[in-house]
Amino acid sequence: MKLLIIEDEQSLLKSIVQYFNQEKFLCETAVSYEDGIRKIEDFQYDCIILDINLPGGSGLQLLKYLRQNKNKDGVIIISARDSLDDRITGLDIGADDYLTKPFHLSELNARVRALIRRKKAEGASILETGVLKVDLSSRTVVSAGQNMPLSKIEYDLLLFLMTNKNRVVSRQAIAEHIYDGPSEQVPSSDFVYSHIKNLKRKLKERGCHEMIQTIYGLGYKLTP
Amino acid sequence: MSKTLQQKNTRYLLIWLPLVLLTGTVLFYLLMSAHAGHMAEEQLELKQENIRNAFLANPDTLPRSIAGEYDLLAGGSVPAGLLHKQRDTTVYYPSNKRWVAFRILTEPYTIRGRNYQLTTYISSKEITHLIIKVFIAEVFVFILLLVAIVIINRKSSGLLWRPFNDTLKKVTDYDIVDNESLALSTETGIREFDQLNQVVATLIGNVNQAYRNQKQFVENASHELQTPLAIIRSKLDLLINTPQLTEETAGLLADITEANDRLSQMNKNLLLLTKIDNHQFPGQTSIDLSGAVEKLLANYQHFYDGELPLVWKSIQTGISVTANASLLEVLLNNLINNAFVHNIPHGYVTVSLSPHALIIENTGHPIAGGTDQLFERFKKGREQSKTTGLGLSLVQRICSIYHYRLVYTHMQNIHRVTWVFSQP
C-alpha cells in the first residue's frame, strides 16, 4: 500500500516514514506545497498524510486542489492547531480525518488503516488476527468460532491493539485512543491497566493465552 | 480607619472653625465692651460739661442733685484715688424698689473759690443689654456661618472631586482580561485631574499592551512547542518498538513517555487557557446539565472500572445552563476529575445538582496553607506529579466569563467545591 506524507518538519517526517515502512507501507514524502502538488499529480495513493502549515502554501489549499481535480485519495490532516473550527474546515474541504499534534504513531497508524479499510471495503469488513475475528460493522468479536462479548472500551482497546499488532503500544497512546472527552482532559493512563486486565482475562477464557503481553512499564503488545 | 475625603474635610472644618469663631466671639465681646466703655466715658464727660455750664449760668437755681443724673457737692467726700475715672455703682429707686446699675464719673472743680465735686451718672443697664443682644445676634450669625461653610464645602468638594471619583470608578471596574482601553476625559476643567486621567490612561494602555504581548507570547510558545513535542512522541513510539529492549531502558523510556505526555497535556491546557482569554468560544447553547453530569460520572465509572472511590449522587433532572458547550465540558470534566484524582484510597465522592448549584464533595488529603492560591496556575495542593496544575485555573477562567460563583471549602480531609451557575 502506498502512502504520501506531506510534512515540512524533517524529523517528524522521518519518524512517520520509518514507522510505516516497518508496517510494510510504501512511503513517498513531500516537504513543501509545490512538492506535494507534484507528487499528487504523479501517482495515486491509498492515503495522504497532510500537514497544514507548509512552506509555499497551506495544506488546506492543497486539499482543495486535490478535491477539485476529482482525486479521491484518502486524506488525514495532521495539525498543531486544535480548534473545532479548524477541524470542521478541514473536514468540510474533504479531509477524511483530522489528527492534532502531538499524536502517537500508533494512533496515526490506526487512523490510516481504518481509512483504507473504509475506502476499500465500502461497509462490511472483517478484521482477522490469528484466531480473532472482528466484525467491524456489527462490532462483534469471535475467537476461534466462539462469540466473545466485550464492553465498548474493551472492544476499542482490542481493535486498537490488533491494528498495531506485533508492536508495542504505549499506555498513553491507548488512554488517548479510548478516552472520549476533551483532548486536554485525558485522565492519567493508569485506568488502562484494569481494562487490559479484563481483556486479557476474557481472551484467556477463550483460549488465547498470552496474546497481549505487558512490556515492562511501557505498554502492551498483541501478537497473534 | 480611612475616611472619605469629604468626611475628613468636614471633620477638620468642625474642629477648627468653631475654635476660630469662638476666638472671634471673645475678641468681639472685648472690643464691644471697650467701645461701650469709651462711649460711656464720652457721655459722662459731656454731662459734666453740660452741668458745669448750667451751674455756672444759674448757680442758685440749679438743683444740687438729681437722682440718676448728677450730684454736685461742695467740698467732696470722694477720695482722690477714685477721681477722673469711671466707676460702677447702684442707685436705689424707691418708686419701684429696685437697685439700678449706674456708671459714674467724679471730677473736682473750683468755682468762684469754692471746691466742688461733680458726679455724673449714666445708666449702664442699656449698654449691658445692648452688648448682650448684639452678642446673641453675633452667636447666631456665627453658627449660621459655620453651618453654611460646612455645607458649601461639602457641596463644592463633591463637585470638585467628581472627575476623580469617575476615574476611580472606571479604574476599579477595569479588568485586565477584557483588555479594553479606559475612556478617561482629559477635559475635566481641573488641570490636576486632566493630568491624572492622562497618566492613568497611558498606564492602562501600557498594561494592556504588556498583557497582550504576554498572551501572544504564551500562545506562540505553546503553538511552537507542539511540533517538538510531536517529534519526541514519534521518536519514543519508534524507540519502544526497537528489539532487544532491556528492562532498564524500558523503565527509562516509560518515565520519558510519561513526562512527555504530561508536557503535552500542559501545553494543550495552556493553549486552551489562552483561547478562553481570547474569547474564542463565543457560541452559547442551552445544555442539559443533569444529563451531562450523569454521563460524565458514568464515563468515569466506566474508565476506572472498580478502582474508583464510592460515588454518591443526587442529581435533579431537567436542569440546564446556557453556555458554550466545549467550555462547559472542560469545566465539568475538571471539577469531577479533581474529585477523583485528589482522592484517597477507600474514599468517596458526592455529587449533588440542584437548580442553582452543583456541589462536589470528596475525601482527600488535607491542604497545607491557604486555599486562595488554589486557582492560580501551576498551584498544586500536594505533590501530584500526574496533574498539570492548570485544571482549576481553567475552571476559574470559565466561571469568570459567565459570572459563575465558585466556592471552595475544606474541613480536615473533606473538600467541597460549590459551583453556583444561576442566582436563586
Q: What is the DSSP string of A9-39?
A: -HHHHHHHHHHHHHTT-EEEEE-SHHHHHHH
Q: Does B236 touch chain A (CB under 8 A)?
A: yes
Side-chain-side CA neighbours of residue A68 (13 Å): 7
Most confident of B74-83, B119-128, B302-311: B119-128
Number of alpha helices (DSSP H) and beta strands (DSSP E) in chain B: 8, 12
pLDDT for the residue numbered A123? 58
Task: Please state the φ and ψ torsions of residue A102, each to the nearest 5 degrees.
Answer: -80, 140
Stronger pLDDT, A103 or B372, i.e. the higher one: A103
pLDDT for the residue numbered B387? 63
Across B67-91, average pLDDT = 83
Q: Are residues B253 and B316 in the same domain?
A: no
- Domain A126-222 sits in CATH 1.10.10.10: yes
pLDDT for the residue numbered B307? 67
* CATH number of residue B261's parent domain: 1.10.287.130
Q: Are residues B147 and B18 in the same domain?
A: yes
Q: Are residues B12 and B153 in the same domain?
A: yes
CA A219 to each of CA A172, B291, B335: distance values in angstroms, whole numbers, following the listed order? 8, 34, 29
Distance, in Å, from the CA atom of B71 to the CA atom of B86, rounded to the nearest integer, reads 15
Q: How far is A168 from chain B (nearest CA, A)?
A: 6
- Percent of residues, chain B, with pLDDT higher than 90: 15
pLDDT in tens, B140-186: 888 898 899 989 988 988 888 888 889 999 888 888 877 778 888 88
Structural domain for B104, as ranges = 5-158
DSSP helix/strand/coil, B97: coil
Domain boundary among B158, B181, B212: B158
Domain boundary among B115, B137, B158: B158
Q: Are residues B128 and B262 in the same domain?
A: no
Q: Are residues B152 and B216 in the same domain?
A: no
Helix axes A10-22, B191-239, angle to 10 degrees: 30
Confidence of residue B82 (pLDDT cuts 50, 70, 90): confident
Domain limits, chain A: 2-121, 126-222
**CATH-assigned architecture of domain A2-121:** 3-Layer(aba) Sandwich (3.40)
Q: Are residues B270 and B292 in the same domain?
A: no
H-run or E-run covering B257: helix B247-277
Q: In 10 A of CB B52, how many CB atoms?
A: 18
Collect all residues of chain B within an 8 Å Cβ-Cβ radius of residue A171: 257
Strand pairing partners for B417?
B360, B408
Cβ contacts of A101 within 8 Å, gap of 6 or more: A78, A79, A80, B226, B227, B229, B230
Strands of B186-315 (E only): list them: 285-288, 310-315
Confidence of residue B350 (pLDDT cuts 50, 70, 90): very high
CB within 8 Å: A84 and B326: yes
Domain boundary among B158, B175, B191: B158
Q: Are residues B266 and B294 in the same domain?
A: no
Distance, in Å, from the CA atom of A191 to the CA atom of A130, rounded to the nearest integer, reads 27
Closest chain B residue to the Cα of A165, Cα to Cα: B241
pLDDT in tens, B178-221: 777 888 888 888 899 999 999 999 999 999 999 888 888 888 88
Q: What's the domain count of chain B?
A: 3
Nearest to A186 among B234, B238, B265 (CB): B265
| ipTM entry | 0.88
**Is residue B409 scored above 70 in pLDDT?**
yes
Q: How far is A84 from chain B (nearest CA, A)?
A: 9
Q: How far is B273 from chain A (nearest CA, A)?
A: 11
* CATH number of residue B308's parent domain: 3.30.565.10
Collect all residues of chain B within an 8 Å Cβ-Cβ radius of residue A180: 299
Stronger pLDDT, B384 or A149, i.e. the higher one: A149
CA B250 to each of CA B41, B68, B307, B369: distance values in angstroms, whole numbers, following the listed order? 122, 131, 26, 39
CB within 8 Å: B240 and A168: yes
Across A188-213, average pLDDT = 84
Q: Are residues B181 and B90 in the same domain?
A: no
Kindly report the length of chain B: 424
pLDDT for the residue numbered B268? 85
**Is residue B384 scored above 60 in pLDDT?**
no
pLDDT for the residue numbered A7? 93
Q: Does B223 touch chain A (CB under 8 A)?
A: yes
CB within 8 Å: A216 and B306: no
